[in-house]
Amino acid sequence: MHLREGDGASRTRLEAWHEDFTLRAMVLIVHGFPSAVAALRFEWAWQHPQASRRLAHVGPRLRSEAAFAFHLRVLAHMLRVPPWVRLPLTVRWLRADFRCDLCPPPPPHMPLTFGPPPPRAAAPKRRAGPLADLESEPDPDAEACCALCARSFQDEEGPLCCPHPGCHLRAHVICLAEEFLEKEPGQLLPLEGQCPGCKNSLLWGDLIWLCQMGTEEEEENLELEEEHWTDMLET
């Protein structure tokens, strides 16, 4: 098991290896960490469960338990305890023939997927050309303000936008987070909520991912230098 730091935090992955005599194959990855530091801390706790206070309830490896099965057992419990239980992670099986159920299963907001990760998509661009003027677009002045607090966006602050067609919601991260956490006042990180504009259900991780797509190229060189707030969560 090791961590590969790829093209920034959104592509940082935790990788599990299955070893059977001479066979060594990468069969599982967990990705979607908010920063490289968060992924590294996750990996450290996975490799040292006995030293992490978050995993004190996970028993040691049994005599009859294979190393691969033990790592999966530790992973299953990690996805169910703070601070990782609320992160928008994805569990991806690269080898379906080694796939087995995690016990306990991942939280509902963590998708279980199969196959190689999809290629990184380019940030969506506004269509240019003579037909662009014919499309109905929201008022530019309205777009410059948060739909929840009516305050303007700072230059360095990218708004969260609803991905549903026809919905023009744009909001500060903190404003939309507070909206999603109305029923969970004791939490800091939302899981999902209802769009205040179109009333469709939204996953918080999807909103953050879409927001990062537009600024990822600009921030790629600064990402490892800046400290993410989730890096302060103890493991």
| 5-15 pLDDT, tens digit each | 333 344 444 45
Tokens of 115: 């196959």
* Whether the predicted pLDDT of 188 surpasses 90: no
Helix axes 173-180, 204-219, angle to 10 degrees: 170
Contacts of 66 (CB under 8 A, 6+ apart): none
Which one-letter DSSP state was computed for residue 12?
A: -
CB 211 within 8 A of CB 157: no
CB 88 within 8 A of CB 206: yes
d(CA 94, CA 115) in angstroms, rounded, equals 5
pLDDT digit string (tens) for 75-134? Answer: 999 999 988 998 889 999 988 888 889 999 999 889 899 988 776 655 444 444 444 444
Measured in degrees and rounded to the nearest 5, phi and psi for residue 47 equal -80, -20
* Across 214-222, average pLDDT: 51
State pTM to two decimals: 0.62
* Across 134-156, average pLDDT: 67
Measured in degrees and rounded to the nearest 5, phi and psi for residue 61 equal -65, 130
Number of H-type helices and E-type strands within the chain: 5, 9
Q: How many other C-beta atoms are found inside a 10 Å radius of the C-beta of residue 84?
A: 25
